[in-house]
Structure 1
Amino acid sequence: MHVSKSEIQVRYAETDQMGVVYHTNYLVWFEIGRTQLIEDLGFSYAGMEEEGVLSPVLDIHASYKKPVRYGQKAVIHTWIEKYDGLRVAYGYEIYDDQQDLCVTGTSSHICVKRENFRPISIKKYFPDWDKAYRLAKKQDAI
């Protein structure tokens, strides 16, 4: 399984009045992690969009364990949790600069044609992505 790592310097604008990262910012950080993972595998989300394909979120979940605060660094770990050739579920863990687990989550996506929002097969339209995702995904439990 390939795990991508992205580092974030927590900015003041991302925090609430208590200096704690506001909860919706973690979802933005998930996107940063997902984009980095795609680049690590040799692809570009922007390149996919240039071909008229979008990847909307079907479902997203976050579980908050410990706050990340202003001035800290956060590290986003991202991997492919599940992949079936049509849908992709990404897994996320966010750690603070003490290496404590702060947030876990998943997001599920499907690829669609931009003009009609109809789902497409990643395996058919992007065979290189399909191969890379199958090789990089989390192994199924036996």
Structure 2
Amino acid sequence: MGTTDETDPSDGPAFQPVFENRVRFAETDQQGIVFYGEYFTFQDEAVSEFFRQIDYSYEKMEDDGWEIHVANAELNYRDGAEFGDVLVNELRVAEIGTASVTFDYRVRRTGDDAVLADGTVTHVAVDGETGETTPVPDAFREAIAAFQGGLPTDG
């Protein structure tokens, strides 16, 4: 996998760096590398930061009567990070359906720009009161499009 952002426009919008973290000792395993499960935490932090950066917080979702639930999360491990490494977590909305949003995620080490992990996380929009699936609001779609220069469905 490449170490620079040579995103092919046909693959969707460019990845956006949204969250940076320094690996803490508590995130490493006995071998001294980041425990694989921590990458899901990093992925979740990146999604939360993405929402802050598009100015569409969880509180705004609740105020608007909807919320999101994770339906699927996947990660591919490419290389190991160690205590003290600085990581840049990147996201892009790869797909947005009627009631779901799928993010592509990847994390790079700043020292050598190596991709350490990549994957996806899919959220489903649900009504805040009933828990039933609901359409993703237009305001949320517009916030995503403004942040990443369009939606993946924009040809």
Shorter-chain TM band? 0.7 to 0.9
For 2:59, the equivalent position in structure 1 comes to 46
Question: Does 2:99 match 1:86?
Answer: yes
* Aligned residue type for 1:133: I
Secondary structure of 2:37's aligned partner: helix
Shifted more, 72-81 versus 129-138: the winner is 129-138
Residue ranges of structure 2 left out of the alignment (5+ in a row): 1-12
* Residues 21 and 70 in structure 1, CA contact (< 8 A), matched pair in contact too: yes
Q: Deviations over 1:44-74 (max 9, x none)?
A: 1233135443211111110000011111111
For 1:103, the equivalent position in structure 2 comes to 117
Secondary structure of 1:78's aligned partner: strand
Residue ranges of structure 1 left out of the alignment (5+ in a row): none
Secondary structure of 2:120's aligned partner: strand
In the alignment, the residues of structure 1 paired with residue 45 and residue 22 of structure 2 have an alpha-carbon distance, to the nearest angstrom, of: 13
Q: 1:19 to 1:138 in 2, by over 3 A?
A: farther
Percent identity reads 20
For 1:24, the equivalent position in structure 2 comes to 37
Shifted more, 47-56 versus 66-75: the winner is 47-56
* Aligned residue type for 2:33: V
What TM-score results when the alignment is normalised by the length of structure 2? 0.79
* Residues 33 and 76 in structure 1, CA contact (< 8 A), matched pair in contact too: yes
